[in-house]
Amino acid sequence: MITVELIKLCRRPRTWASLFLLCALPATIAIFLAVTKVGPAPGEEPAFLAAVLANGSLFPAAALAIVLPIFLPVAVAVIAGDSVAGEASSGMLRYLLIRPVGRTRLLVAKLVAVVAFVLLAVVSVAVTSYVIGISLFEAQPGTTVTTVSGVSLTPTELLVRTAGALVYVAISMLGVAAIALFLSTLTDSSLGAALGALAALVTSTALVTLDAAAAVRPYLPTRYWLAWIDFFRDPILWRDIERGLALQAVYVAVLLAAAWANFTTKDVTS
Amino acid sequence: MITTRALTKRYGPIVAVDSVDISVRSGERYGLLGPNGSGKTTLLRLILGLVYATSGEIEVMGASVPRRVGAVLPDIGTLVEGPAAYGHLSGRANLALLDRAGPARGGGGRHARRRRIDQALERVGLAGIDNRPVKAYSLGMRQRLGLAAALLNAPRLLVLDEPTNGLDPQGIREIRDLLSELNAAGTTVFLSSHLLAEIEQLCTRVGVMDRGSLVLEESVEVLRAPTGRTIVRTPDVDLAAALLDGRIEARSGDRLVVRHPDPAELNGLLVTAGLRVTEIGAEHRSLEDVVLQVTSAGSDRVDGSGRVDNSRSVDGSGRVDDSGRVDDSRSVDDSRSVDDSRSVDDSGRVDDSRRVDDSRSSGAS
């Protein structure tokens, strides 16, 4: 069933369209930067963009900062929200279950496909932006790069840290995927599930910046999203990264358990 | 093959399936009839483990459903509430995905899969299908594709919901032949339909549902038993009427309905008397009469409160007159409700006891 889900993911035009859009946004920004040479002031959002003009190999990090707030969560929410609800609305859910595919197995396969999409999305953004970065900006392979903390990094170190940041972002996205997947088992409308997940994220983002909500801040799903930047500090600032990972693990575990409990006991009337 | 005991499914306050005891035997062609919204599809979903029962038991091929449904589903081919497919993929790709998703019956190799899919497509008349995506298919093609998916596993039991929906007369004939052929090869066929003619031609036994309950379960042969009347067509209609005086129940043009159980004997009688007979035969109850008698109007019909729906107005003897119109000898006032209780005895005669009752609350929906 996992193979079937992966084949379905690959043969879906939507998958490739959303990946293309994800990669196109950083590329557009890169082109503007390269043409005008007008970078944002150092320290301004999105992170790293100012440094890119000097060194193109930092562009993957900048690209992550560009797609992380909106584009990536939207793409993940759409794919994960569609996973069960989409089958239900197309009527295929009943035929899969009758085939038979066990309900737990179907849910696991859906989850694997969503994880695959998240990884594919993060990696393709990183790879395309690296290629764009070194071809449009001054590439200085072999030379050092300055971190957020002002310390220089060797290319190997940079590679390792970028990889770490990618993994961290991917795991943050799993939280989004878990919310959308859970909602997807509740409704037969994939749009509803995706929008529900996005609504949760927008609420969380709004509360993170609200001082009045300080009491709940550590438990908000987006609270530690930006902790991936800490991979580029020297030494790496593990505190927020660790908390972020633990928080996402709790969200993923609880929501998947809820999705499983709901899906395995629900009447399939679609 | 399929047995349910006191099977009940409630959706909130609505009782979709109400204490149903159905029994489908191995090798049968069983037709489930009933108006729209009478619970046919919910019953099928319950049997397939898609929907969980509120109470009661289901047993399919010896396995208790839904607990052990996974063990028997590989032996069941289904079509529930219309076919479904991924619109952006071709029919063949759809079948390939479905085939891969389930247990690989008859080999999981590339060739075995291909052969299975080709076979299923050929059976339903889609052998020459191209690579067009399913969203470009006609309704009939989708229906055939759905049937192909149901046949993928070479099932021992086919559970089909409206299998001929969307097909033209030729297609309906083809599917009927296919189902008969599969049945002859040992597949039990359990199908639901509201096309009475469909069921009458294909099925050996029928169950009739009305408002969630199974109101009748009987073999088609018994239901279609002779009524004890003979229909005679003769150019000498006046002479015949005179000869059979007192036994004529209805007369229209050259057609007589005679109270006489044996057409051969009656024919002898008429011919001996020098009358010419164009056509003679025993009158049979039609499935339509039976079903209309035991069911109420479908839930898709919404009448104002207290109105009596005419579609159920069959007279006390269950007779329908020549023109096919219902002869409602007891005029029922619009403001009254009608309460029907009917039972079929062993000889297959439908015994009708009808009560007209003044209370507006009971009866017609």
pLDDT digits (tens, 9 = 90+) for A134-187: 888 876 655 566 666 667 778 888 889 889 999 999 999 999 999 999 999 999
- A190 neighbourhood in chain B, CB within 8 Å: none
**Of residues A1, A101, A268, nearest to B50 (C-beta):** A268
* Average pLDDT of the residues in A218-233: 89
H/E run at residue B158: strand B157-161
Query: From the CA of A258, how many Å to the nearest CA of chain B?
Result: 19
Question: Please, are residues B318 and B350 in contact by the beta-carbon 8 Å criterion?
Answer: yes
DSSP letter (8 states) at residue B16: E
- Among B52, B75, B86, pick the best mutation site for testing chain A contact (most A Cβ within 10 A): B86
- Reduced to 3 states (helix: H, G, I; strand: E, B; else coil), residue B231 is strand
Query: Are B86 and A90 in contact (CB < 8 Å)?
Result: yes
Q: What is the pLDDT of residue B338?
A: 39
A102 touches chain B (CB under 8 A): yes
Q: Which domains does chain B have, with CATH numbers?
A: 2-222 (3.40.50.300), 226-278 (no CATH), 302-357 (no CATH)
- Reduced to 3 states (helix: H, G, I; strand: E, B; else coil), residue A160 is helix
DSSP letter (8 states) at residue B338: E
**Of residues A8, A91, A99, nearest to B82 (C-beta):** A91
Residue from A168, A164, A166 nearest A244 by CA: A168
**Of residues B81, B82, B88, nearest to A13 (C-beta):** B88
B84 touches chain A (CB under 8 A): yes
Contacts of B13 (CB under 8 A, 6+ apart): none
Name the maximum alpha-carbon separation found in chain A: 61
Question: Please, are residues B289 and B312 in contact by the beta-carbon 8 Å criterion?
Answer: no
Q: What is the pLDDT of residue B327?
A: 39
Percent of chain A with pLDDT over 70: 94
User: Which structure tokens are listed for A267?
Assistant: 């009447």
In terms of CA atoms, which chain A residue is nearest residue B52? A267
Query: Are A269 and B51 in contact (CB < 8 Å)?
Result: yes
State the Cα–Cα distance between residues A80 and A178, nearest whole angstrom: 8
Query: From the CA of A186, how many Å to the nearest CA of chain B?
Result: 15
Q: What is the pLDDT of residue B361?
A: 41
Q: What is the pLDDT of residue A143?
A: 57
User: Which structure tokens are listed for A69?
Assistant: 């707030």
Q: What is the pLDDT of residue B188?
A: 95
- B101 neighbourhood in chain A, CB within 8 Å: 1, 4, 96, 99, 101
Q: What is the pLDDT of residue B320?
A: 40
Computed over its alpha carbons, how large is the radius of gyration of chain A? 20
Q: Within 10 A of B192 (CB to CB), how many other CB atoms are there?
A: 25
A218 touches chain B (CB under 8 A): no
State the Cα–Cα distance between residues A37 and A3, nearest whole angstrom: 46
Burial of A36 (0-12, 13-18, 19+ CB in 10 A): exposed
- B103 neighbourhood in chain A, CB within 8 Å: 100
In terms of CA atoms, which chain B residue is nearest residue A98? B73
For residue A235, whether the previous peptide bond is cis, meaning omega lies within 30 degrees of 0, is yes
Query: Are A98 and B73 in contact (CB < 8 Å)?
Result: yes
For residue B66, whether the previous peptide bond is cis, meaning omega lies within 30 degrees of 0, is yes
Strands B213-219 and B188-192: unpaired
A91 touches chain B (CB under 8 A): yes
Query: Are A94 and B84 in contact (CB < 8 Å)?
Result: yes
A16 touches chain B (CB under 8 A): no
- A94 neighbourhood in chain B, CB within 8 Å: 45, 48, 50, 80-81, 84
In terms of CA atoms, which chain A residue is nearest residue B50? A268
Q: Within 10 A of A216 (CB to CB), how many other CB atoms are there?
A: 13
Query: Are A11 and B88 in contact (CB < 8 Å)?
Result: yes
Query: Are A97 and B82 in contact (CB < 8 Å)?
Result: no
Q: What is the pLDDT of residue B330?
A: 39
**In angstroms, what CA-CA distances link A117 with A109, A178, A266, B31, B356?**
12, 13, 27, 45, 66
Query: How would you write the pLDDT of chain B (365 residues) with one tens digit per residue?
Result: 899 999 999 999 999 999 999 999 999 999 999 888 889 999 999 999 999 999 999 999 999 988 899 899 999 999 998 899 999 999 999 999 999 988 877 777 888 899 999 999 999 999 988 889 999 999 889 999 999 999 998 899 999 998 888 889 898 898 899 999 999 999 999 999 878 888 888 999 999 999 999 999 999 888 888 888 899 998 988 888 888 888 888 888 888 899 988 899 989 988 998 888 999 999 888 888 888 888 877 667 776 654 444 444 333 343 444 443 443 333 334 333 334 444 444 444 444 444 444 444 443 33
| ipTM of the complex, rounded to two decimals | 0.85
Q: What is the pLDDT of residue A206?
A: 93
pTM of the model: 0.81
Query: From the CA of A267, how many Å to the nearest CA of chain B?
Result: 4
B33 touches chain A (CB under 8 A): no
In terms of CA atoms, which chain B residue is nearest residue A13? B88
Indicate if the pLDDT at residue A126 is higher than 60: yes
Look at A54-63, A210-219, A254-263 and tell me which has the smallest mean pLDDT: A54-63
H/E run at residue A14: helix A13-36
Q: What is the pLDDT of residue A144?
A: 61
Between vectors from CA B14 to CA B313 and to CA A90, what angle results, nearest 5°? 100
Question: Please, are residues A165 and A61 in contact by the beta-carbon 8 Å criterion?
Answer: yes
* pLDDT (tens digit per residue) in A21-80: 999 999 998 998 888 877 777 666 677 787 787 778 888 888 988 899 889 999 999 999
Count interface pairs A-B at CB distance under 8 A: 71
**Bridge partners of residue B23, in order along the sequence:** B3
Q: What is the pLDDT of residue B359?
A: 41
Phi, psi (deg, nearest 5) at residue B250: -155, 155
Chain A residues 198-217 within an 8 A CB cutoff of chain B: none
Phi, psi (deg, nearest 5) at residue B25: -90, 160
Q: What is the pLDDT of residue B153?
A: 86
What is the per-residue DSSP string for A201-234? Answer: HHHHHHHHT-GGGTTTGGG-TTTTGGGGGGGGSS
Q: What is the pLDDT of residue B46?
A: 94
Q: What is the pLDDT of residue B353?
A: 42
- B97 neighbourhood in chain A, CB within 8 Å: 4, 7-8
**Bridge partners of residue A158, in order along the sequence:** none
Q: What is the pLDDT of residue A18?
A: 93
Query: Are B73 and A3 in contact (CB < 8 Å)?
Result: no
State the Cα–Cα distance between residues B195 and B174, nearest whole angstrom: 16
Q: What is the pLDDT of residue B313?
A: 38
Query: Are A8 and B88 in contact (CB < 8 Å)?
Result: no
B241: left (phi over 0), alpha (psi -120 to 50) or beta: alpha
State the Cα–Cα distance between residues A170 and B235, nearest whole angstrom: 89
Segments in chain B forming alpha helices (H):
40-47, 69-72, 91-101, 110-123, 139-151, 169-184, 196-202, 220-223, 237-243, 263-272, 287-294
